[in-house]
């Protein structure tokens, strides 16, 4: 899980844990995000895009290479590059209710590799 806003990060992490998930992170910087993506095996990832002004994409690329499905959770408007560069990744726009977001993660995991 990558999210730089503490409240958002802890709330989502808590909700995922309530559903029985084990949460790696939350990573708040691109450095932490890259470490997580490289080193921690996981079934799915939630990626906030803007980490204090730096884009999360290098971590997304690592996940894609490892065929780990992920979704973007962002407050930015739809960026055209997103659809182009990561066609399989759902884009969840902030503010999304936390249960809805958790539902999206569940779908990612059910879809397995096909969505990434």
Partner 1 sequence: MQARAKQNHLEQEVDGLLHQPGAARFLDDVAVDGVLYWDLEKPDQQWVSPGFWERLGYESGLDLNDGASWQRLVFAEDHARLLENFRQHCLDPDTPFDQTIRVRKADGHVVTVRCRGTALREGGTPVRMLGVQTILDETQAPRIDRQLSELIEMSDDAVMAWSFKKGVCRWNAGAEKLFGVSAAQAEGRDPGILTEAIYPEPWQEISRKLSSGEQWSGEVQRRAADGRRICTSARLSPVDIAGGDILVLEIDRDITAEREVREKLRDHNRELNHRVKNLFAIIQGLIDLSGTDASDPILLTRKIQARISALAAAHLVSIDEEEVQSISFMALLEAVLRPYDEHKERLSLVGDQVRLPKRAVTPAGMIFHELATNAVKYGAWSRPGGSIAVAWEEIAGPGGQPRLSVSWRENFGETAGDGGIDVEGLGVRLIRQSARQLGGTAAWEWQSEGLMVTLEFPIGDER
Name the residues that contact partner 1, by CB under 8 A: 4-12, 14-15, 26-32, 50, 52-54, 75-77, 93-98
Beta strands in the chain (DSSP E): 45-48, 50-51, 54-55, 70-74, 91-93
Instruction: Tell me the closest approach of the beta carbon of residue 113 to partner 1, in angstroms.
Output: 29
Kindly give, in sequence order, each residue whose CB lies less than 8 Å from that of residue 4, ignoring residues fewer than 6 positions away: 28, 29, 48, 50, 51, 52
Instruction: Tell me the closest approach of the beta carbon of residue 11 to partner 1, in angstroms.
Output: 3
Alpha-carbon distance of 47 to 71, in angstroms, equals: 6
Instruction: Tell me the closest approach of the beta carbon of residue 8 to partner 1, in angstroms.
Output: 4
Instruction: Tell me the closest approach of the beta carbon of residue 46 to partner 1, in angstroms.
Output: 12
24 vs 111 by CB, closer to partner 1: 24
41 vs 77 by CB, closer to partner 1: 77
83 vs 93 by CB, closer to partner 1: 93
Residue 6 host element (H or E) = helix 6-18
């Amino acid at each position: 899980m990558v999210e730089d806003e503490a409240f958002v990060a802890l709330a989502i992490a808590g909700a995922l844990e309530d559903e029985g998930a084990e949460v790696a992170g939350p990573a708040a910087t691109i450095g932490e995000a890259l470490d997580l993506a490289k080193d921690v095996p996981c079934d799915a990832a939630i990626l906030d895009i803007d980490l204090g002004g730096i884009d999360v994409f290098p971590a997304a690329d690592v996940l894609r290479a490892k065929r780990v499905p992920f979704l973007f959770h962002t407050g930015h408007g739809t960026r055209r590059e997103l659809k182009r560069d990561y066609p399989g990744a759902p884009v969840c726009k902030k503010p999304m209710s936390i249960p809805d977001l958790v539902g999206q993660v569940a779908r990612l995991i059910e879809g397995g590799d096909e969505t990434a």
